[in-house]
Amino acid sequence: MSLYAFLGTLEIGFIYGLVAMGVYLTFRILDFPDLTVDGSFTLGAAATAALIVSGVNPYLATLLGTLAAACAGIVTAWLNLRFNILHLLASILTMTALYTINLRVMGKPNLALIMEPTVLTPFEDLGIPAMYLKVIFVAVCAIIGGLLLSWFLYTQYGLAMRAVGSNKRMAQANGIVVKEKVYVGLALSNGLVGLAGALFAQTSGFADSTMGIGTIVVGLAAVIIGESLFGTKSILVVVLSCILGSILYRIAVSMALNADFLGFQASDLNLLTAVLVTLSLIFPKLRSEYKAKKAKRKKV
Partner 1 sequence: MRLSSIFKSAVVSTLLVSSALQAKPVYIATTAIVEHPALDAVRDGIKQALNDNGYSGDNLKFTYESAQGKPDIASQIARKMVGENPDIIVAIATPSAQAAVTATKTIPVVFSAVTDPLAAKLVPTLEQPGGNVTGLSDMANIKEHFTLIKEFVPNLKVLGIPYNPGEANAVSMLESAKVVAEKMGIKIVEAAAPKSSDVMIAAKQLVGKADAIYCPIDNTIISAVESVIKVGIDAQVPVFAGDTSTVERGAIAAVGYNYFDLGRQTGDIVVRILKGEKPGSIDVKMAKGTDLYVNPKMAKRMGIEVPKAVLEKATKIVK
Q: What is the smallest separation between the CB atom of 240 and partner 1, expressed in angstroms?
A: 22
In a 3-state reduction of DSSP, which class is residue 158? helix
The alpha carbon torsion through 31, 32, 37, 40 (nearest 10 deg) reads -120
Question: With CB under 8 A as the contact rule, which of the stretches 31-39, 154-162, 224-232, 261-269 interacts with partner 1?
Answer: 261-269
Q: What is the smallest separation between the CB atom of 28 and partner 1, expressed in angstroms?
A: 23
Instruction: Identify the sign of the CA torsion 258, 263, 266, 271.
Output: negative
Among 78, 154, 206, 230, binds partner 1 (CB under 8 A): 206
Among 62, 190, 204, 241, binds partner 1 (CB under 8 A): 204
Question: With CB under 8 A as the contact rule, which of the stretches 80-88, 150-158, 230-238, 267-275 interacts with partner 1?
Answer: 267-275
Among 270, 278, 287, 293, binds partner 1 (CB under 8 A): 270
Asked if residue 97 binds partner 1 (CB under 8 A), the reply is no
Asked if residue 257 binds partner 1 (CB under 8 A), the reply is yes
Among 173, 262, 266, 300, binds partner 1 (CB under 8 A): 266
DSSP 231-285: -SSSHHHHHHHHHHHHHHHHHHHHHHHTGGGGT--GGGHHHHHHHHHHHHHHHHH
Among 57, 121, 210, 288, binds partner 1 (CB under 8 A): 210
Specify whether the CB–CB gap between 180 and 77 falls below 8 A: no
Asked if residue 230 binds partner 1 (CB under 8 A), the reply is no
Of the pair 148, 213, the CB lying nearest partner 1 is at 213
Specify whether the CB–CB gap between 114 and 205 falls below 8 A: yes
Nearby residues of 99 by Cβ (< 8 Å), 6 or more positions away: 39, 42, 209
Strand partners, 227: none
d(CA 257, CA 265): 9
Within 1-40, the residues that bind partner 1 by CB under 8 A are 1-9, 11-12, 16
Q: Where are the alpha helices (DSSP H) in 155-177?
A: 156-166, 168-173
3-state SS, 54-85, equals CCCCHHHHHHHHHHHHHHHHHHHHHHHHHHCC
x-marked contacts with partner 1 along 141-180 as a string, rule CB under 8 A: ----------------------------------------
Question: With CB under 8 A as the contact rule, which of the stretches 86-94, 229-237, 250-258, 282-290 interacts with partner 1?
Answer: 250-258
d(CA 74, CA 186): 6
Within 101-120, the residues that bind partner 1 by CB under 8 A are 103, 108-110, 112-115
Q: Which residues bind partner 1 (CB under 8 A)?
A: 1-9, 11-12, 16, 99, 103, 108-110, 112-115, 200, 203-206, 208-211, 213-214, 218, 250, 253-254, 257-258, 260, 266-267, 269-270
